[in-house]
Amino acid sequence: MCKKIGLILVIMNFLFVPVSTQAAPSLDTADVDEYVSNYIEKNGLPGAAIVIVKDGKVIYEKGYGHDSEGNPLTAKSKMGIASGTKPFTAFAVLQLVDEGKIKLDDPIVQYLPELTFDDERWKQITVRQLLSHTSGVPNPTIVAQANTLKEGVERFHDWKLQSDPGKQYAYSNANYWTLAFLVEKISGMTFNDYLNQNVFLPIGMNDSISLVNSEDIEEYGISRGFVTLYGNAIPWTELEKMFSGSGSIFTTASDMGKWLSMHTSEGKNENGEPLLSQKLLKASYSPQPGSEKYGLGWSISSPNIKPARISHSGSISTFQSQQDIVPSSGYAVAVLLNSFTTTFEHSYEISSGIIQLTEGYAPELKAPTPKIIDYSLGVLTLVYLFLGIRGILRSKKWSEKRKKNGAWRFYFRLIPQLIPVVGIGWLLFIVPTLKNNSSTIIDAFGLFPSGMIFLVITFIIGLVLTILRIYYRFKVID
C-alpha cells in the first residue's frame, strides 16, 4: 500500500509542475508538416488535422489530405473525436461539483434513484468511481439500441457488475452514459445543450457539437469517415449506436486548440474567466483510488512514457483522435483523423511524433504495421481461396474415395470445414441480431475489412465444400 501511495505522489509531483519549467526547443512547423504528410502517405490514410498549443496559446494548426467528398481537410474540418468526448463529459460533471450540486463521493443512486442493476453492489457506486472507470460497470460490445440517454441507461436493469465498486480500473462507455444522464438530471437541460452553453461557447468552440446517436452525423452535414483496407481508404458509414457522453462530440482541430489552451491556462478561457476550479482541474489529472492510470476523465501516462503526458484517445468505426497535454513543457497536441484502422492507433502515433518534435527529437517513421497485417491476411486469403477451389473441384473424387465409409465416419471427416462455417456463420448472421442491436453485416465488415474478407472466403469455401461432398456422397451411393 505504501509503495502505491509513493508512486502516486511521484506521478502527481511530476504532472503538476508549472508549465514550461523545463525549457523546450523552438518548434519548426515545417518539420511537423513533413512528418505528418509522410506519415499519412506511408500508411494510406485519407487525411488528418492537427493543432499544437504552447503555454495556453495555439501556435500551429493545419489539415492534411481530403474528406470523403474530395475536399481538402483543414483545421476547420469537423470530425469525430470518439472517446475524446470523455474529458468533456467529466469537465461538465466537475462544473456541477464546483457549483455544489453534486459531490464526488456520493452514491450515484442519490441523484439517479431510477437506475437499477441486477446487482445490489450498484448502490455503492459513487460519482468519482464512474468518472475514473472504477465502478465495476461492464463494457459490453453488444447492447440494444437506444435513442436517448434515458433509454441508454435503462438497459442496465439486467446487468451485473464485473467487480466491487472502487476496487479496480475497467474502462466502460456505460460509466459515461450514466454521467451524461446525471448532467441532464441535475442541470435540467439536455446533455448536448449543457455542453454547448457551459463548455463550448465559453471556450469559443463554435464549430463543435455533441450528438446522441451516430446516425445523426449526416443530418449535420459531417462528411463520412473512412476505413482502411490493404493500404487504401474506403468511405464508410458510421456504425449506428447511442454514444452520448462517451463518444458523441464532433469538432475541429481549431476548436480542440481552444480546449487545450484552456487546460494549459489553469482552466481559464481566452478572456481569463475560470471555467473550473484549480482543485478540481488538478484532481481530473490525478490518479484515483483503484486506478493509477486514470483520473477524472483523463488517462495518465505510464512511467515509461517520456515525457509524461495527460491524454485521451478515441475511436469509433470511421474516426480516430488523440489529445495530449505535456505538463513539463507546456505543450499540448490534438490529432483528428477521418479514418479508423482496427489494428493500430494512428492518431496516438502521430501525436507522439509531434511531441517528440517539440522535445527537439526527430520522430521515427515506423513501418506501416496495418498495411503489413492487411497484406499478410490478403496473402493468406489468396492461399486459402486457391486451396478451397482446388478442394471444390476435387469434391466428387473425395466422396467417391470414401463411398465405402460408414455414414458416421464420412460425416466425421466433414467436421474440420464445418467448424469455421458454424463459427463464422454465427459471427456474420447471429451476432448482429443479438439484443436487438442495430449493427449489420456491413458494419462488421467495416470494423476490420481485410479480416472480414478472409472470414467470408473461409465461410463460403467451407459451406460449398461441405454441400458438394454430401451431394456427391448420395450420388455415389445411388
Q: Are residues 350 and 411 in the same domain?
A: no
- Look at residue 446 and give its three-state secondary structure: helix
* Amino acid in the structure at residue 369: T
d(CA 243, CA 230) in angstroms, rounded, equals 29
Residue 372 DSSP label: H
Q: Are residues 88 and 59 in the same domain?
A: yes
The answer to whether residue 364 sits within a structural domain is no
Cis, peptide link before residue 370, omega less than 30° from 0:
no
Look at the chain and count its residues: 478
d(CA 264, CA 253) in angstroms, rounded, equals 16
Place of cell 454430401: 470
Of 312, 337, 358, which residue is a domain's last?
358
Of 325, 358, 391, which residue is a domain's last?
358
Q: Are residues 445 and 310 in the same domain?
A: no
Instruction: Give the domain extent around 349.
Output: 2-358
Residues 6 or more apart whose CB falls under 8 angstroms from that of 140 comprise 159, 174
E-strand ranges in 66-153 read 79-80
Q: Are residues 143 and 250 in the same domain?
A: yes
In this prediction, residue 22 carries a pLDDT of 41
In this prediction, residue 115 carries a pLDDT of 92
Q: Are residues 308 and 443 in the same domain?
A: no
In this prediction, residue 321 carries a pLDDT of 98
Q: Are residues 325 and 425 in the same domain?
A: no
The answer to whether residue 292 sits within a structural domain is yes
- Look at residue 289 and give its three-state secondary structure: coil
d(CA 355, CA 361) in angstroms, rounded, equals 9
In this prediction, residue 476 carries a pLDDT of 63
Residues of the chain with pLDDT under 50: 1-24
Q: Are residues 323 and 418 in the same domain?
A: no
d(CA 433, CA 441) in angstroms, rounded, equals 10
In this prediction, residue 474 carries a pLDDT of 84
Of 358, 378, 410, which residue is a domain's last?
358
How confident is the model over 282-294, as pLDDT tens digits? 999 999 999 999 9
Q: Are residues 418 and 290 in the same domain?
A: no
Q: Are residues 252 and 298 in the same domain?
A: yes
Q: Are residues 311 and 437 in the same domain?
A: no
d(CA 469, CA 405) in angstroms, rounded, equals 13
Of 2, 8, 53, 96, the residue nearest 355 (C-alpha): 53
In this prediction, residue 3 carries a pLDDT of 36
Q: Kindly give the residue spans of alpha helices, DSSP state H, lying in 142-294.
A: 149-154, 173-187, 191-195, 201-203, 253-263, 278-284
In contact, 202 and 273? CB cutoff 8 Å: yes
In this prediction, residue 477 carries a pLDDT of 57
d(CA 396, CA 388) in angstroms, rounded, equals 14
How confident is the model over 27-79, as pLDDT tens digits? 999 999 999 999 999 999 999 999 999 999 999 999 999 999 999 999 999 99
Q: Are residues 373 and 350 in the same domain?
A: no
In this prediction, residue 478 carries a pLDDT of 56
Q: Are residues 444 and 376 in the same domain?
A: yes
